[in-house]
């Protein structure tokens, strides 16, 4: 016996993406390529998670980071999408 299901969509979620005015590209020490480097806030927006989750990824070394001269932290955008082994 086949069953059918009707789904009615009442609301569509819209999402605004902020395009950074100043894109930082640097050589990632682990990728060995010049890639876009993101701030913590930009990385959380890309992954759609909170800052705590990104900090856990950094602590477990699943994403690549560099320290800036001003003491900040930048995250390799390419490493955000690599699946852990």
- pLDDT tens digits, residue range 3-59? 777 777 677 777 776 665 678 889 998 989 999 999 999 999 989 899 999 999 999
What distance in Å separates the CA atoms of residue 64 and residue 35, rounded to the nearest whole number? Answer: 11
Residue 5: inside a domain, yes or no? no
- Residue 2 located in a structural domain: no
pTM for the model stands at: 0.69
Assess if residue 54 is contained within a domain. yes
- The band of 66, judged by pLDDT with boundaries at 50, 70 and 90, is very high
Decide if 15 is inside a domain: no
Q: Which domain holds residue 74?
A: 24-81
- What is the total count of domains within the chain? 1
């Amino acid at each position: 016996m086949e069953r059918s299901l009707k789904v009615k969509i009442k609301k569509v979620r819209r999402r605004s993406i902020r395009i950074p005015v100043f894109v930082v590209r640097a050589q990632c020490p682990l990728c060995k390529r010049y890639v876009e480097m993101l701030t913590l806030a930009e990385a959380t927006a890309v992954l759609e998670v909170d800052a705590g989750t990104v900090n856990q990824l950094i602590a477990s070394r699943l994403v690549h980071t560099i320290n800036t001269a001003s003491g900040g932290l930048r995250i390799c955008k390419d490493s955000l999408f690599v699946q852990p082994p």
